[in-house]
Structure 1
Amino acid sequence: MELHNVWFVLIAVLWTGYFFLEGFDFGIGVLTKLLARDRAERRVLINTIGPVWDGNEVWLLTAGGATFAAFPDWYATLFSGFYLPLLLILICLIVRGVAFEYRHKRDEERWQTNWEHAIFWTSLLPAVLWGVAFGNIVRGVAIDGDKEFVGGLSDLLNPYALLGGVVTLALFTFHGAVFAALKTVGDIRVRARRLAFRLGLATAVPAACFLLWTQVLRGDGPSLVALAVTVAALLGAIGAIRAGREGWSFALSGVTIAAAVAMLFLALFPDVMPSTLNEEWSLTVTNASSSPYTLKIMTWLAVIATPLVLLYQGWTYWVFRKRIGTQHLADSH
């Protein structure tokens, strides 16, 4: 396999890891309004991701950096054409991180409530916008012969991409509800399990529509296999949470996300950003990649660094693996 194809696969893996990990992060943020009944339960939900949320975002930084180094033309066209939505995502991630750190700095109810509102909205908006962004990447955008995006913001708000935003929001919220059931004890665990089941059913219909639309739009044999795996895993996750098997449900909801991302990249390949103006102007793994020498150096660095990162992040999750509930909360200062 040529190195530019290898790096296309690696970037797909990085986005898969990001959506799997940050997906339940965003879901927990949304659930602070949908599931938690009081401030104590909101603290419990936030504490389930407290030790890991910032580590999860490393996958996004790595995916962006890898795209910049391996496919500079893809990076340039993507970040210039999607400037406003990506800027909004960046602002949300910054505010969200500040909200996690500053929420508990004061006892005042208004102070904590405002930061809780910030956590909710800065979790919901990126969950939607990532779906819209990837929907447009797969569908294609207006790229001219100079590899430049010549469309406008309104071109990005098409029905297919907006449906993608609905699907990522629903899927991440379901993923977060399953994670909440897996990481909590007591009444909040029972309610998280019930809510996860309902969210799973609500996710199934738009997800099936979006995946079928993707298959009709750009799919082939391998993407059809990924579609089948996605549907089977989602149904399995719903059935497992219904049976009270939170661990199996979380694993299967993770497989759902991974298979869905795989389907999008399989449908996209060998393009990285199709042009809706002229197929010959599409960015591909060949015409958008860096030099072979650059890709070779990057490959050696990835071979050395990736296992270390995976070991460290896996250790973090192992250390903070226990369930928590309101009885485990420290007294507020």
Structure 2
Amino acid sequence: MATNSALNKTWSCDPHKRHPNFTSCPQCFRPATAQVASSIKEIGNLDHFIPDKQPGIFTPKLEIVERLITEYLITPQLKCPYLLVLQLSVLNRRVDRDLIRNTWGSVAKTQTWPGRNINADVKVVFVIARQASEEPNKQNKTNRNQTHQEQIQSEADLHNDILYLDMIDSYRNLTLKLLSAFKWVRDNCPCLSFVLKVDFDTFVNVPLLLDALLYSESRLEFSILGMIYTGRSRVNRGGKWKVDKSLYPMANFPEYASGCGYVVSMKALSKILDIIPHYKMFPVEDAFITGVMRRVAGFKLFSPGRLFTHYLDKSWQKCQMFHDRKVLGLTVRRQMIQEIWDSFVKDSCS
């Protein structure tokens, strides 16, 4: 049942139709676009945060040490957008996926937004993988997997936005899951411009994000854009976020983007995929991809400051989205996503 979409192309790419309003309708950009673009600052290598940096730590090996997942149980049939949104999901989070589909993610289907211009094509893809069964009986495990497969296939048939990887889903596999999704994207749509990785509990001001990317496209051509941790980020040697010294020996991570949402340019994404077979990955996905891999690949890191939020930022208000003072926000409760969306629909926020 697995398919290799690198051999059976599912995307068509026309770079001349990705952002038709960029030159024909400059006045269509949000008034806040220039201000957002001016807030985007480059973050250099802050080596004083990793004083125990070891020689060769950011150098790929000659041999192949990692392989990404290239077998897919379900793939979407989509045309190539300007921006592709990847949301790492799990099988039993249908409610969360539907919430995104019915709010900010609806732009992927309609290419419209209440009261706003959408100046480039955008698509949303939910990335899932098989759940590890806890059933000791092999037959029960098989039946359970078949039920999951049928349920997700039905959802995929209805929405055409599921990428189902043939791998076991777990936090320890999160880096592998996202990088494997990146590989599928490059194999099937190499001419898109940007990929947004976003968590399920995050609201995305899509019109403002698109305008900011279009406005700053040449500057962000080889980069990652996100809320950057520039302080000392300690490496955990135990618990959920455990990283063994054999995988990363230093006590602190280099500067990196918050995992709730960051934008990767296609050029940077491609460079990561070229290098990753020769570098041992670890499970803290954001620190690895936007921190370590950025050092290895040499692309730029940009921060829009408080325009993007992170998991410690619980103080921002929903009306900041409506008034274009926030591009991406991690919500503290599920209802907040619907409330923000309703403010756009009603064209008012209080």
**TM-score class normalised by the smaller sequence:** under 0.3
Structure richer in helix, relative to its length: 1
TM-score (norm 2): 0.25
TM-score (norm 1): 0.25
